[in-house]
Homo-oligomer: A and B are copies of this chain.
Amino acid sequence: MITSSPMGWNSWDCYGAAVDEKTVRANAEYCAKNLLASGYEYIVVDIQWYEPTAKNHEYHPFTELVTDGYSRLMPAVNRFPSAEGGKGFAPLAEYVHSLGLKFGIHIMRGIPRQAVHADSPIQGTDRTARQIAKNDSICCWNTDMYGVDPSKEGAYEYYLSIFRLYASWGVDFVKCDDIAREMPHCREELKLISKAARNCGREIVLSISPGPALLEEAEMYKQYANMWRITDDFWDKWELLYNMFERCEKWSIHTGFDHYPDADMLPVGPLRQDYDVNDRTKFTENEQITMLTLWSIFRSPLFIGGEMTKFDDFTLSLLTNTGITDMHRNSRHAHQLYRREVNGNELIVWTSVSAEGGTYLAVFNAGETDARFDISLHEAELYGKYKAVELWSNEESTAERHIVTAIPSHGAKAYLLK
């Protein structure tokens, strides 16, 4: 059970399928030193850690993967040397834990095609991979796995066997891919995975991908996952950020105790290092402020996508603003208050209640020009006189009936009113 929305780092945005142990250790060390105090605690190794030849963000169709004798994927030792001798991620997890952090991995729904073709056994059963694979269930963007047929004897045992393995390694977080948007046809398979995660003997946060998840399945996600992606892969493009307002609006009432709709990783700082070590986020500083403001009032999980060891001051300050991380932790009942055209610009206002008292107002200028907005407090059903703190600037003022504020194009402000 988790009582606040998870925070941490994920290797995908900066290394794609090619993350290695050295990188993970370096980022973990940076995180422990600079970001853990702000709440960032999960270090997550993303996809293809079981593939010896992975080089960048691209997948290798039908390539040979590392498996154990029980249809289970194992870390490629050439990329994760500490995994040698069948130790899996246990040594790396142990190191991450030693820094005060938690350790996570990515998995794909299903069972390796290799294991199905080899008809490998399922641990602790007399069943084989071929007997539990679902013939017509494949991922459309990756060739590693077949889906598992939940109606087959041995299906649950397979999933339990992999989660028990991860538990034995010390895994705290599993991001299960190729499932969140695959509804309703993968609903029973998700339930099986969820049950295995909860019965594996270790507290493991279950994050599911990719999005967009289906709104009409909201109650199901709430019961069977801790986080679910509400969007396809999010990258450093304004259009994607702009569209997130609507996604967050729709999902806002489904955020709460132990379950958090997920707007995806934060593409900040150095990205796509597998292609170009000089690549940096294309987002402007204002756009990054908009992103952090929206993610935080909405309580999306906050997973840093950039190579942290090369962060500049702005990026670090963006992620560690105390007012904002407090809002991320304390925001309750968040929802869009309204969205409207104001003098040719697009004004979006969100509100929420702070668990520590007071009301949050987040004000976004989604338009293309800098603008001055007059925000009526009555429209937020705030009728008295308030002390207002703008969280990014830490400026304090008295507010009654109105807040008048200048916001640059694509920028945002966040207020806590008491």
Where the two chains meet, the residues of A that have a C-beta atom closer than 8 Å to any C-beta of B are: 1, 3, 61-62, 113-114, 116-117, 119, 130, 133, 135-136, 138-143, 219, 222-223, 249, 252-253, 256-258, 332-333, 335-340, 351-353, 355, 378-381, 383
Contact = CB atoms under 8 A, between A and B. Distances in A.
A62 B219 contact: no
Question: 4 smallest A-B Cβ distances: which pairs?
Answer: A333-B333, A253-B335, A136-B140, A62-B130
B62 A256 contact: no
B381 A340 contact: no
A338 B133 contact: no
Given A62-B119, A136-B138, A353-B353, A257 B381 contact: yes
A50 B109 CA distance: 31
Per DSSP, chain A at the interface is mixed
A339 B219 contact: yes
Contacts of A351: 333
A110 B352 CA distance: 40
Nearest to A139: B136
A48 B276 CA distance: 49
Contact of A130 (B1, B61, B256): B61
Given A253-B252, A253-B335, A340 B223 contact: yes
Given A61-B135, A135-B142, A219-B339, 6 more contacts: A3-B383, A62-B135, A223-B340, A332-B333, A332-B381, A333-B335
A52 to B, nearest CB: 15
Name, among A130, A136, A253, the residue most crowded by chain B CB atoms within 10 Å (CB to CB): A253
Contact of A340 (B3, B219, B335): B219
A403 to B, nearest CB: 15
A253 B135 CA distance: 38
A149 to B, nearest CB: 10
A257 B3 contact: no
